[in-house]
Amino acid sequence: MSLEVKVGPPQLAIHQGYTMLLSELSGQIDFPSDKGLYFLDTRMISSWAAYADGVSWELLNGGTPSSVLARSFLTNDAIVTGAGPIAKHTLGLVLTRHIGGGLHEDLDVTNYTMTKIRFNLEVALRSDFADIFEVKSGRIIRRGHITTTWLDKRQCLTTAYHNEHFSRSITVTAREHDSQAIYANGRISFDVELAPGGTWHTCLTYDLTDGKHEYAAPGECSKDSGTSKPRRDVTDWQRDVLKVESSNEKFALLFRAATDDMEALRLPIAGSRALAHVPAAGLPWFLALFGRDSLIASLQTALVYPEFARATLDVLGSLQATECDDFRDAEPGKILHELRRGELAALKLIPQTPYYGSADVTPLYLITLHSAWRSTGERALLERHLPTAERCLDWIDKYGDRDGDGFQEYATRSSAGLANQSWKDSGLALVYPDGSLVKGPTATCEMQGYVYAAWLGMAEIYDALHDAAHAERLRAKAAALQTRFDEAFWDEETGFYAFALDGAKNKVRSVASNPGHCLWSGIVPPERAGRVVARLMQPDMWSGWGIRTLSAEHPAYNPYSYQRGAVWPHDNGLIAQGFKRYGYAEEAARIAHDVWSAGGFFMLDRLPELYAGLQRGASGFPVQYLGANVPQAWAAGSVFSLTYALLGLQADAPNGMLYVDPSLPPWLGDITLRDLRVGRKTFDIRFRRMESETQLEILRGDAASVKHRTGVSAHLAPV
């Protein structure tokens, strides 16, 4: 008999929209720590603790039944009260919280003694209103003023923060209580009197304001929260999203966990037309709009929830840069990297207002536009976003290629900008073979592939818009780029593509995962693909839990580092799609098996942003990276990428077709897709492995619209 191992951080995390709560398993928020109730990049509650006559409660267990609800079960230590002693472990306190705009908190006490008891239940709380950037860095500076007001008649405590034009406030109100609350000495307290077997209840609601708008807490208690708007939103999501069934229960669980994570990460933000919901990057540090993360998540969910792509294209297009701004690394036509709404951003002390320091996001915008069109078939989508797309094309030519050599390079101009502006954006991520940092301006290999795919996708869009001349020009540019790329980046000695070209146009020959993205984009000539696949599957790159970001033989390799040896699920998902694109289905399935196996070890079957690149052993389990975001959008989306790779799914909604090239491995005997939307058509399809072949059965939908197609030509869009 084997024991199931679950790994992950010992904390509770719930969130909805721009509101997030991080606490200990007990529900307590210790200070100092990075825990707290956060709202619009500001920590509204920095310390929270409950006491019984000044004595702390003891944790029994805590968990998160859903992304918006947390519950902790506590019991008492021995208490000496004015009404007599209360024996240890004879009281139960259930602390339940659910988020929906603000936070609703239920406190339920039960007396398990055989005597009447009386004690004082206290909730001690503080607010530091720290910016999330400063919490993460551990360097908090108080710039404004905090005021506190208790209104006894309304039973509410309001704490407000003001600094110039920036303000935040939180109002904590005692409701539905069985005894009157008082506030003193930083604590809201209640006299609790209970007969044997008796129960006592109160609610605390936390309403939040940003100086202009109030975000009210749910009014109903947790037992009634199933009818709340957040729960109705979850029900609507589950109705619309792609669903799977499989005899492999772990696969089905991981897929469901991934769709739950994507639902939970929906971020409401104003676009050019209306309020839209885009995928936020991740919890806890990236509950914000990130261009790269939202676009890649939109690509990953193209056949799972195409509404993400519609919203992301609209929101990012409305924030496209229109002028040069060195502090924000902005140039006309560039798509943003990150947008923040905290104090530091409001006072322009950081460049994330928004910040544009991502060199790969602008071509990814074009790839996502093409993917969204192929998935939905909506010509209006192309017409609406064509002006944005053409400004992206201009940026690629004028600013993306900094020196006119035909390649995309980056170098920050901002005093507070990112040194690395590809997806591996850690300042330590890009290294020469001797371990020293690459000197830029830098041209990473995958950025060239993104531009190649963007140009081909836009050529197909121009064909659809009856602009053959523009389409032909882009195809010619893509062909020329592919030739230049192969000549400049291919290294025959290693049989692999260079990680990057440095500022002197020298090849950076470090073996890294980036060339796998070149397979995903299609820029690799077919005759090179086999060698790229083989190199990525060598033991120094393939950990057994997925492909590492950097070779284990590299002197700078560290399995616990952020991007110099760790495994990133989204990286592996795109690489697996690249493998499948060139016909390497078996290798794609090995990666899928690795990542799915790892996912089953994490709490709630939830893939983290990254995990350690340690070699897998017979009795091992994956090790989560310290500080990884969980949930994280493109980590969850990697499950969909891997599903696409196994089934060879390729939408062609403009022509009313779905192309498939299924190849189920022995460990996954069947998959049934439910509510697969391609344009206006909906399908239920069952895939089954029969001996060494995979057969499909159309359970719902037009069977004539589903065709089998193999080869590189079948994968015109890299999704």
Q: How far apart are CA 344 and CA 351, in angstroms?
A: 9
Name the one residue in this structure whose structure tokens are 């310390």: 47
Token output for 577: 């799609």
Residue 429, classified by CB atoms within 10 Å of its CB into exposed (0-12), middle (13-18) or buried (19+), is buried
pLDDT, mean of residues 308-333: 97
Position 716 confidence tier, pLDDT thresholds 50, 70, 90: very low
Residue 466, classified by CB atoms within 10 Å of its CB into exposed (0-12), middle (13-18) or buried (19+), is exposed
pLDDT score of 719:
46
pLDDT, mean of residues 466-485: 98
Amino acid at 719: V
Position 715 confidence tier, pLDDT thresholds 50, 70, 90: very low
pLDDT score of 2:
46
pLDDT, mean of residues 185-205: 95
Burial 396-428 (b: 16+ CB within 10 A, else e): beebbbbeeebbbbbbbebeebbbbbbbbbeee
CB 366 within 8 A of CB 392: yes
- Evaluate the CA torsion angle 83, 86, 92, 97 in order and state its sign: positive
Number of H helices, E strands in the chain: 15, 35
Q: How far apart are CA 185 and CA 120, in angstroms?
A: 14
Amino acid at 339: L
pLDDT, mean of residues 619-646: 93
What digits encode the pLDDT tens for the residues 516-540? 999 999 999 999 999 999 999 999 9
Q: How far apart are CA 649 and CA 643, in angstroms?
A: 8
Q: pTM score, two decimals?
A: 0.95
The residue among 342 and 276 whose pLDDT is bigger is: 342
First to last CA, the chain: 40
**Has residue 718 got a pLDDT over 70?**
no
Position 272 confidence tier, pLDDT thresholds 50, 70, 90: low
pLDDT, mean of residues 622-647: 94
Nearest Cα residue to 519 out of 461, 471, 567, 587: 587
Q: What is the 3-state secondary structure (H, E, C) of 541-559?
A: CECCCCEECECCCCCCCCC
Q: What angle do CA 148, 153, 156 make, to 5 degrees?
A: 35
Q: Enumerate domains of the chain plus CATH numbers.
A: 12-232 (2.70.98.40)
Length of the chain: 719
Cis peptide before 441 (omega within 30 of 0): yes
- C-alpha pair distances (Å), 138 with each of 31, 35, 135, 284, 475: 12, 12, 5, 15, 50
CB 335 within 8 A of CB 316: yes
Token output for 495: 């049989």
**Has residue 421 got a pLDDT over 70?**
yes
Cis peptide before 10 (omega within 30 of 0): no
Count the neighbouring beta carbons within 10 Å of the beta carbon of residue 286. Answer: 18
Considering the chain, what is the average pLDDT of its residues?
94
27 — alpha (psi -120 to 50), left (phi > 0) or beta? left
CB 143 within 8 A of CB 131: no
Count the neighbouring beta carbons within 10 Å of the beta carbon of residue 141. Answer: 10
Q: How far apart are CA 149 and CA 487, in angstroms?
A: 69
CB 40 within 8 A of CB 124: no
Token output for 45: 């509650």
pLDDT, mean of residues 91-95: 97
Radius of gyration of the CA atoms of the chain, in A: 27
pLDDT, mean of residues 586-615: 94
Question: Residue 648 pairs with which residues in a beta bridge?
Answer: none
The residue among 276 and 131 whose pLDDT is bigger is: 131
Residue/partner pairs of 484-491 with CB below 8 Å, 24 or more apart: 484/406, 484/407, 485/407, 485/445, 485/448, 485/449, 485/452, 485/523, 486/524, 486/525, 486/528, 488/407, 489/445, 489/448, 490/528
pLDDT score of 672:
98
CB 135 within 8 A of CB 129: no
What digits encode the pLDDT tens for the residues 547-582? 999 999 999 999 999 999 999 999 999 999 999 999
CB 456 within 8 A of CB 475: yes
**Has residue 178 got a pLDDT over 90?**
no
Token output for 586: 């078996």
Alpha-helical runs (H) found in 567-649: 569-581, 585-599, 633-647
Question: Residue 169 pairs with which residues in a beta bridge?
Answer: 160, 209
Q: How far apart are CA 35 and CA 25, in angstroms?
A: 11
Token output for 311: 């919203």
**Has residue 717 got a pLDDT over 60?**
no
What digits encode the pLDDT tens for the residues 498-513? 999 999 999 999 999 9
What digits encode the pLDDT tens for the residues 217-232? 999 988 765 556 666 7
Tell me which of 122-136, 168-182, 696-710 is least confident. Answer: 168-182
Position 270 confidence tier, pLDDT thresholds 50, 70, 90: confident
Burial 62-95 (b: 16+ CB within 10 A, else e): bebebbbbbbbbbbbeebeeeeeebeeebbbbbb
What is the helix, strand, coil percentage profile of the chain, to 5? Answer: 30, 30, 40
Residue 138, classified by CB atoms within 10 Å of its CB into exposed (0-12), middle (13-18) or buried (19+), is exposed
pLDDT, mean of residues 536-545: 97
